[in-house]
């Protein structure tokens, strides 16, 4: 039987129960769709108050591509870690990026929508594809690899 997506919103508080990230490095504001170990859709509201904008770039703020990828990985991390019986005792280590493409700059006021799909899972490793959209336009895509490890 195919799993139905969970459409309940996970807000930042719920995400913090799954991921160890905190300000200024928690880069996903909410999860709007979740099918454990299959698919996750996350949202990041990009504001002028982001700590990276003063230096990237003064007078021409653009969200760094590596942070778009990190936010994408965090969305995938929720999909992966939400299925763990004791996520508090585990961490997800980001292990690889392949075929990353940045198609359009992300600026203050944009809302990023991350769509992650699980490609392969063989414990403790997984591979996911991710896409980031702003107003329905693809701005970034990549294949991401990760591992689940015990928290020490």
Active site residue ranges = 56
Contact 52, 108 (CB under 8 A): no
Residues 6+ apart with CB under 8 A from 142: 69, 72, 97, 98, 99, 100, 101, 129, 130
The phi and psi torsions of 119 (rounded to 5 degrees) equal -100, -45
- Tokens 């980001």 belong to 94
Give the tokens for residue 90: 């585990």
């Amino acid at each position: 039987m195919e799993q139905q997506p969970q459409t309940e919103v996970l807000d930042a508080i719920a995400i913090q129960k799954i991921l160890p990230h905190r300000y200024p490095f928690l880069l996903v504001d909410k999860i709007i769709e979740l099918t454990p170990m299959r698919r996750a859709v996350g949202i990041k509201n990009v504001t002028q108050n982001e700590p990276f904008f003063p230096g990237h770039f003064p007078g021409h703020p653009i969200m760094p591509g590596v942070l778009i990828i990190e936010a994408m990985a965090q969305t995938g991390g929720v999909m992966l870690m939400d299925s763990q019986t004791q996520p508090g005792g585990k961490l997800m280590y980001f292990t690889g990026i392949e075929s990353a493409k940045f198609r359009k700059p992300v600026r203050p006021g944009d809302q990023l929508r991350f769509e992650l799909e699980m490609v392969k899972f063989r414990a403790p490793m997984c591979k996911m594809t991710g896409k980031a959209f702003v107003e329905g336009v693809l701005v970034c895509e990549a294949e991401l690899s990760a591992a689940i490890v015990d928290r020490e």
